Chain A
Amino acid sequence: MALDKTDIAKRIAQEMKDGYYINLGIGVPTMAANYIPKDINVVIHTENGLLGMGTYPTKDNYDADLVNAGKQTVTALPGASYFDSATSFAMIRGGHIDLTVLGAFEVTDIGDIASWKIPGSRVKGIGGAMDLVAAAKNIIVAMTHTNRKGEPKLVKHCTLPLTGLQCVKMIVTDLAVIKVTDKGFKLLERAPGVSVEEIVEKTAAPLIIEGEIPEMKI
């Protein structure tokens, strides 16, 4: 069965390592903060100017001056720091962030990503996504395997405007975990009960499949 958003978030959280500074995009990536393994310490970066983001506040302690990159009210953990946007993006551009997780519309088998604009649709904008994908060392995309029309989002060439080139390292979808290698997409894991055939059928680029593909452990 395909994973729901919560399970995608849980699988993403398994990629977090002790000592990591992590930037999580809006939506499913942010949900991954709820499933950080208990035995590790990580620091969540939010690009509007906070290292050490905590949980959402309660009705008694929220503050209009304390929000995350999605403009949601949040809290800061002990050991947190605040800074301006120039400093925050210096952290990103300077390669100081260990893991970046974001959503996407399309990803290619060399790691190109399209995530910010659907021509003819709404004008939303770029936000921090182009800065993040251009500079981060370790970028994981969290997305559904196909779009609402059932078309593959893992493709050979992006049809939508690009966010960045050759930057995505791994993709976690509702069907599979796929690595971007020098030779293209490599299937690492499949969602419980989902067949390799189904994943191949719903991926519009060649998949490297070596041996038995294990099920994800959520």
Chain B
Amino acid sequence: MNKVVNNIEEAIKDIKDGMTLMFGGFGLCGLPEKGVEALLKSGVKDLTCSSCTAGIDDFGVGLLIQNHQIKKLIASYIGENNDAERRVLSGEFELDLVPQGTIAERARAGGAGIPAFYVPASYGTEAAEGKEVREFDGKMYVMEKAFQADYALVKAWKGDTHGNLIYKATANNLNNPMAMCGKITIAEVEELVQAGELDPHHIHTPGIFVQHIFQGTDYEKRIEFLTLQD
């Protein structure tokens, strides 16, 4: 049950042009930094990706847009990335904007074997255009389909050789749902330990959802808005 790979290059070596990739993280918080870095170097292209945001101009998933590797991005918000905004307006890549909770649930459902589900979010708005709607108990809902991903890339605080993961504070965010929906999920962690060293009570993502795990080094963990008390 040892899922440890030596490095990110080894973990992503079978990612091919045209594949579907999911990224954990909320903006730069909980971002799989090493995964993004390695994909940039690999040059793999025509990717369909989902990520909560596109990061900022010079850090995060948006770098793959800048590098012309993403043909379609499913995200809920790209407001902090001016470069991605320009590129979507010029038609360089396709942007599918989805409510944030819907992204999370599409990922969770994909991992849970639920092909589609109904949510109230976006009913009556342009984000629901072309989607099936249905009434339940007098309220209208929009049908959303689960994500199917070739790969999911997630980042955790601690992990063990079985792929069990623990996140720190709000860095869990989309990481756990995205980890669930990858056919192959690559987890990068700040601290990798032997199976048995993490308290089973404290695991957030059980190792069954993780195929490859490695310890990353030199995490930058950039902050979008460092806001301090006066």
Contact = CB atoms under 8 A, between A and B. Distances in A.
Interface of A: 46-50, 55-59, 62-68, 70-74, 76, 82-86, 88-89, 92-93, 122-131, 134-135, 161-165
Contacts, number: 181
Contacts of A123: 78, 85, 88-89, 95
Contact of B29 (A48, A130, A134): A48
A72 B127 CA distance: 27
Contacts of B121: 93, 130-131, 134-135
- Which of B28, B80, B121, B226: most chain A Cβ within 10 A? B121
Contacts of A70: 225
Interface stretch (B7-15, B40-48, B167-175, B210-218): B167-175
Interface residues of B, number: 59
- Which of B29, B105, B127, B170: most chain A Cβ within 10 A? B170
Contact of A128 (B85, B101, B126): B101
Interface in B17-48: 26-30
Contact of B172 (A82, A89, A129): A82
A126 B228 contact: no
B157 A65 contact: yes
Interface of B: 26-30, 52-53, 75-80, 85, 88-89, 95, 97-105, 107-108, 119-127, 157, 167-177, 204, 221-229
- Which of B107, B123, B173: most chain A Cβ within 10 A? B173
A125 B78 contact: yes
A86 B177 contact: yes
A124 to B, nearest CB: 3
B172 A126 contact: no
A145 B99 CA distance: 27
A158 B1 CA distance: 56
A197 B32 CA distance: 56
Contacts of B108: 86
Contact of A85 (B100, B125, B221): B100
11 contacts: A63-B168, A66-B169, A82-B172, A85-B176, A86-B101, A88-B101, A130-B102, A130-B121, A131-B100, A131-B102, A162-B125
What are the 10 A-B residue pairs with the smallest beta carbon separation, nearest first?
Answer: A89-B101, A125-B77, A124-B79, A131-B101, A134-B120, A85-B104, A84-B176, A71-B224, A64-B221, A72-B227
Given A73-B227, A125-B97, A128-B101, A83 B123 contact: no
Contacts of A128: 76, 99-101
B102 to A, nearest CB: 7
Main secondary structure of the interface of A (DSSP, over half): loop
B88 A55 contact: no
A54 to B, nearest CB: 10
Contacts of B78: 123-125
Contact of B125 (A47, A55, A130): A130
Given A130-B122, A165-B124, 5 more contacts: A65-B167, A67-B225, A86-B108, A122-B85, A130-B99
A55 B173 contact: no
A47 B102 CA distance: 12
Contacts of A134: 119-123
- Which of A56, A86, A122: most chain B Cβ within 10 A? A86
Given A48-B173, A161-B125, A57 B229 contact: yes
